[in-house]
Amino acid sequence: MTNILCIGAGYVGGSTMPVIASHCPEHRFVVVDINEARIAAWQSDNLPIYEPGLDEIVRKTRGKNLFFSTDVDQQIAEADIIFVSVHTPTKTFGQGAGKAADLQYWEKTARQILENSTTSKIVVEKSTLPVRTAEAMERILNSNGKGLHFDVLSNPEFLAEGTAVRDMQNPDRVLIGGRETGSGKKAVETLVEVYANWVPRERIITSNLWSSELSKLAANAFLAQRISSINAMSALCEKTEADVSEVAHAIGLDNRIGKYFLRASVGFGGSCFKKDILHLSYLCEHYGLPEVANYWEQVVLMNEYQEMRFASNMVTSMFNTVAGKKIALFGAAFKANTNDTRESPALEVCRALLEERANIVMTDPHALENARYDLGELAERVTFEPDPYAAANGAHAIAVLTEWAQYTQLDYEKIYASMVKPAFLFDGRNLLDHKKLFEIGFNVYPIGKPALTHLRTE
């Protein structure tokens, strides 16, 4: 039996470890966190994150070979392999503020591992980190006078929220980076063996440490870049009567381009794309590559433009004022099937409309609690309403901001009847049947397609 510890019981620690534990009944897994409320929630029937399929796996493994604890020191002492999946946000202070990675949580963990270890260990970077962070980790850990040796591996996580369990069960690839030394190779092989319990060998790839660290930033940058590219096209489509879905379909059939991640939207959100691209851009600046830094930063700037363009289009279309108008925001989560609202475009649009003094009602099946928290003081000016029918009742407009499947099933005739006329619908996800909505009577504004309106323009 190997004792496997994960430090950080957030989205990544909390969704990866149960899946790994379910495939490795011979090993013992513990997930620790300093956040007591979070650990208590992981130990309860009300898990702290909403992720399809996760409840069942936690129920199957918890108390058998998976445990949650706040006793970080004790669990470090007992562990053979330690995954570190603490958060790595963007610095808000000092050098690199607003762009560089804040590595304080990461470094504290390294020091805590060192302090509490009495045996040599494998330490695995699961968090997303700037290239060459493993070097700093190695230096801290191997500076001990206890005669212990630590092998540091990079094993970035590629799962997406909302499909975390599926992504873990059937990953496109697992990447493990390590040193070329004897013990480095042995450590890599040990981790390969863990994944090989359910992942086909050909999908477990190994590389040097720096390639592995950089591949994670590169993957997120490429994914986000596709969204910014199609969103840039959507702006042009709206000016030219081209249809962005038709353009995406036509270009996506080219195998070299591929069809995924070409859905134009109100913008990409989530805790990682923006931060990882800014970290990448900062890293490029650090290495004296300003042109490369600017190139990647543009992906984030285009996303901010798209979010603001959407909000501004709402105001312009509604006769240049939304002050005092009730607007129902359908969706708070940054994407469907998660309760995560970090960097959600829904919150950005909400902030912009509050600035215009609109009366905002926000609805979402799972993310209202997090939205309230993330909006901070502004939450006092927002009504949170779980029922979409109640949210739309008496509203001048609806804005669809998260692609929840249930929004396609609503009775829009009933919703239309309950709204102030002319009734507006802005579809920030191109989720709904626009022609049908137009026929019901809505003035419909999709992304990257001609608007369908009953308003006379003379």
How near is the Cβ of 160 to ligand UGA at its closest, in Å? 3
Question: Which strand (E) or helix (H) includes residue 151?
Answer: strand 150-154
- Alpha-carbon gap, residue 51 to 54, rounded angstroms: 6
Between residues 348 and 385, which has the closer beta carbon with respect to ligand UGA? 348
Q: Are 275 and 90 in contact (CB under 8 A)?
A: yes
How near is the Cβ of 336 to ligand UGA at its closest, in Å? 8
- Tell me the window of 21-29, 259-267, 315-323, 420-428 that interacts with ligand UGA (CB under 6 A): 259-267
- Tell me the window of 179-187, 261-269, 351-359, 446-454 that interacts with ligand UGA (CB under 6 A): 261-269
Q: Look up residue 67 and give its amino acid.
A: F
Which partner, ligand NAD, ligand UGA, none, binds residue 127 by CB below 5 to 8 Å per kind? ligand NAD
Closest CA to 422 of 440, 452, 396, 390: 396
Which partner, ligand NAD, ligand UGA, none, binds residue 109 by CB below 5 to 8 Å per kind? ligand NAD
- Active-site residue, from 6, 272, 284, 350: 272
Between residues 205 and 440, which has the closer beta carbon with respect to ligand NAD? 205
Which parts of 150-169 interact with ligand NAD (CB under 6 A)? Answer: 157, 159, 161
Active site residue 272: yes
Between residues 140 and 160, which has the closer beta carbon with respect to ligand UGA? 160
Write down the residue that tokens 């022609």 correspond to: 435
| Beta carbons within 8 Å of 179's beta carbon, 6+ residues apart | 151, 152, 185, 187, 208, 209
Question: Which strand (E) or helix (H) includes residue 326?
Answer: strand 326-330
Q: Which of 261, 295, 389, 438 binds ligand UGA (CB under 6 A)?
A: 261
Q: Are 30 and 3 in contact (CB under 8 A)?
A: yes
Number of chain residues interacting with ligand UGA (CB under 6 A): 20
Closest CA to 282 of 158, 129, 154: 129
Q: Is 223 a residue that touches ligand UGA (CB under 6 A)?
A: yes
CA 144 to chain centre: 36
Dihedral (CA of 430, 168, 281, 107) sign: positive
Write down the residue that tokens 């409309």 correspond to: 353
Q: Is 82 a residue that touches ligand NAD (CB under 6 A)?
A: no
How near is the Cβ of 220 to ligand NAD at its closest, in Å? 8
Between residues 12 and 262, which has the closer beta carbon with respect to ligand NAD? 12
Read off the DSSP letter of residue 388. Answer: H
Strands of 359-363's sheet in order across: 382-384, 359-363, 326-330, 397-400, 424-427, 443-445
Q: Which of 165, 176, 272, 328 binds ligand NAD (CB under 6 A)?
A: 272
- Alpha-carbon gap, residue 392 to 370, rounded angstroms: 21
Q: Look up residue 42 and give its amino acid.
A: W
Which parts of 17-76 interact with ligand NAD (CB under 6 A)? Answer: 32-35, 38, 72
Catalytically active residues are: 272
Q: Which residues bind ligand UGA (CB under 6 A)?
A: 128, 157-161, 220, 223, 227, 261-263, 265, 268-270, 272-273, 334-335
Q: Which residues bind ligand NAD (CB under 6 A)?
A: 7-13, 32-35, 38, 72, 85-88, 105, 108-109, 112, 127-128, 157, 159, 161, 271-272
